A and B are shown apart, each in its own frame.
Chain A
Amino acid sequence: MAKILICDDSRFMLTLFEKGLREAGLDVVGKAADGLECLALYKTTQPDLVLLDITMPNMDGRDCLKELIKLDPAVQVIMVTAVGDEAVKKECLELGAKAFVPKSKLSSPDSFKQAVAETVLPLLKNSRESKAS
């Protein structure tokens, strides 16, 4: 079962992500409330994929992404944000994020399933293939 680390300062969103991912047959191995926690949990849980919020206290998603790439250049990160700003999206993708999902797409069970199928699963496949090779 694919291991996912989720990171958001909203407990509500964490719960929502966890519920949606479990229903999709994925294993949530860690829940982080900010970038610092995320880094610590990444080291201990070694997930296949990270769902990372951008706006967070202590260390925001951008800085956390940079640190994650330093830790593991092959890290698979999906940035999640409430604001679908093209500039932010471009920045994150340039920094090394693999995908960008607006939170509004994760807000209902149906749209969550769709987002998982379109974004999360293909990345996990890539991740497994790269690890296998």
Chain B
Amino acid sequence: MSPNRVRASHSEIPAETQLLESAATFAKALARLLQSMFGKELNPAETGLDELGKYSRHDLMVSLMFTGSFYGEFILSANLQQVQNILGLSGSTEIETKEQAADILSELLNIVAGECFSDLINEKTKLTLTAPKVFFGVVKFPKIKAAKTTLNFEGTAAIDCVLYLDRMKLDIDTSYRSALGELGVVNSDLMDALDKLQSQQHHLIQAEKMVALGTMAAGVAHEINTPLSTIIMAEQQMKEALATGQTDASGLFKMLSVIETTAHKISKITKSLRFYASDTRGEAFEIKNLEFVVQEALHPWKEALLKKNIRVILDASLSAIEMECRPIQLAQVFYDLINNSIYAVSECENKWIRIKSTDLGNEVAVSVADSGEGIPLNVQSKVFDPFFTTKKFGEGIGLGLSHARGILSGHGGTIELMGYSKNTEFVLILPKKQKQNKAA
């Protein structure tokens, strides 16, 4: 057993093969030693795997424990009569035979183990051989997979050689490999647990949203009821005017306009609620051009922007960015930010919204700024809180930015308010590529 061979067997050969090889080496060395000492030819039978628990029927057993880089036990088991034949102890009494046979086999085992492991000792960590132990009669060993071979002497006598290695401590490499394997299993269990946790968390967020919506419902109902009563009132006035004939087309048109504007207000409230409650968790990541995503978000606002005379400046840098994202979700973020900007600049003289990007290598920074006055210092820390809004009641429920932050987080990104900015500016930092195996 050369050191190189041992090393090779440790790194490449499975534990059971290694067990078989080691047992075969032991048996050969033992046969050679017995032969050189007693001049009798012994033939080691082919080595095979067996359960150690079965080896309790022989009336003489000698075992040698070894620890260190190898941890296991080598056992010679035989019947006294046969050992007497092999070792030339015929004529001795049973007690003498037992004592002498145990002594000889113990020492042989010691020498064989020492010889077989002497290479290993220099290559591996320390090896400790404990003094051989002798058992007579039945010995119960734990059921551990062992390699067994038999030394046959002219077909009339036999010594069973059993080698078992503690599988966990078979050797450093193997235990490292098995530890890695176990780690893999644990890891995959953890991943499952994480998946479950994430799914539960999502349910919780949804549930929380629903609870929040529930508590909001009264306020929202009030907010809807107010324009609703305006509509009803306008409608009643129209009916009355029509019934009494005290109206003209322009009067009717004025009232219809009131109804239309008010209805739009209601529609806006309900739309924002539906948008908030929507679940786009299942959306897959796709490679998209950043400008495309921004345009998608701008599209619904085109008319409002035109009407309110708001200039939208899309920087050329946007079209140069290709990134992996959930396009609908990301568009929702821009949609919300544009919505906020439209609101913020509506009172300004110079109305503009500027979106530009900066390539940061693996990441991209996207700035959404507007000509608004900026967010007052005392509320800057609250802008991402759910249901926080500086808008008038009915014009926003304060979920846009908290929703945006959730979406950004799902992309492995962040959203920040540039507090120092003269205007209102939000900066999104997003990875261009998503990590592998990210849950959709």
Task: Give me the interface of A with B, judged by CB distance under 8 Å.
Answer: 9-13, 16, 55, 57, 81-87, 102-104, 107-111
Contact = CB atoms under 8 A, between A and B. Distances in A.
B117 A83 contact: yes
Interface string B377-397: 000000000000000000000
B104 A12 contact: yes
Contacts of A104: 33, 111, 114-115
Given A12-B103, A55-B129, A82 B113 contact: yes
B32 to A, nearest CB: 9
Contact of A103 (B114, B121, B127, B131): B114
B121 A84 contact: yes
A84 B103 contact: no
A111 B114 CA distance: 17
Contacts of B106: 10, 12
A103 B117 CA distance: 13
B126 interface: yes
A123 to B, nearest CB: 22
Interface in B83-111: 100, 103-104, 106-107, 110-111
Given A12-B104, A12-B107, A102 B115 contact: yes
B103 A10 contact: yes
A82 B216 CA distance: 85
Contact of B37 (A10, A86, A87, A107): A107
B118 interface: yes
A10 B115 contact: no
B246 interface: no
19 contacts: A10-B103, A10-B106, A10-B107, A10-B110, A11-B100, A12-B103, A13-B107, A55-B110, A83-B117, A84-B115, A85-B118, A85-B126, A85-B127, A86-B121, A102-B114, A103-B107, A103-B111, A103-B114, A111-B36
B122 interface: yes
B100 A83 contact: no
Contacts of B126: 85, 87
Contact of B36 (A85, A86, A102, A107): A107
Given A82-B111, A84-B115, A103-B114, A55 B131 contact: yes
A57 B104 CA distance: 17
Contact of A108 (B36, B107, B127): B36
Contacts of A107: 33, 36-37, 111
A103 B131 CA distance: 15
Nearest to A8: B107
